[in-house]
Amino acid sequence: MYNHDHTHRAYHDHEISRPTRLKKRLQGIYEMVPKSTRLADIGTDHAYLPAALIEGGKAETVIATDLRSAPLKGARDYLQSRSLLQKVELRQGDGLTVLDPGEVEGIIISGLGGGTMVNMLKAGSKVLATLRFVVLAPHNETYAIRSFFLRTNMALIDETLIEDDGRFYPILLFMPGDALEAYRLQKYSLYEALYLGPFLLSRRGPSMERYVQKEYEHTVRIREQIEQKSASSDQKAQLGVFMRQEKLLKRIIRARNTFFNA
């Protein structure tokens, strides 16, 4: 069995202070990032996270990127106010296209859907192949991310679930290794682990219970919307996906007393 606790201690330094105050979602990402010399924050927005990583000693330098110029202007102003422009390089561009292979040890991508993140990683496959770690914080479609990494040489090392203002944010850490190792769990099927997360399933707890309930309500709502339309063949296939998810979530909710409190 994968010695997750040992790996997590080996790659995280939770004693590092965070001079820049972060909201819960960004703080969760911060805590998941391994210490490195140079990393990239893709879609940096105002560069709050790169600033915290530099000030907290988790990174020596950061490349902060964004697709649009307006966020980068705000990022520049913020970094200048904290005297960090020499340590955080700002670049405008799409995804991993602004990076060269081997230029950074790891990347962070947050605030996007899982499908969009997967497309970015595919487009930047040469960069991905050189990374020591990838931290992803999607707002949906974590199944697509976990499934994608099964076809790579990177393993899911850790994941956590952040609840902030009624929304849930899974945060996932990947590093080079056996992509199947985290899914070798006797109690859960591969589909269950890919959809809900092997580490999240093993930890459970009240936050996970609320997350499953919210996912169930969202899945039912989408399934009903598709059923009300005259569905195309693609939509019918999509309907099957949501029906399978709904069945899984319903089963977990019905067994909540034993599932979440075991």
The pLDDT profile of the chain, 262 residues, written as one tens digit per residue, is 445 544 454 444 444 434 568 999 999 999 999 999 999 999 998 999 999 999 999 999 999 999 999 999 999 999 999 999 999 999 999 999 999 999 999 999 999 999 999 999 999 999 999 999 999 999 989 999 999 999 999 999 999 999 988 899 999 999 999 999 999 876 888 999 999 999 998 888 888 989 999 999 989 998 888 888 766 667 677 788 889 899 999 988 888 766 766 5
* Tokens standing for residue 109: 């991508």
How many whole angstroms separate alpha carbon 26 and alpha carbon 146? 21
Q: Per residue in 186-226, pLDDT tens?
A: 688 899 999 999 999 888 888 898 999 999 998 999 888 88
How many whole angstroms separate alpha carbon 62 and alpha carbon 41? 7
Q: Is residue 161 within 8 Å of residue 168, measured between CB atoms?
A: yes
Torsions phi, psi for 167 (to 5 deg): -115, 155
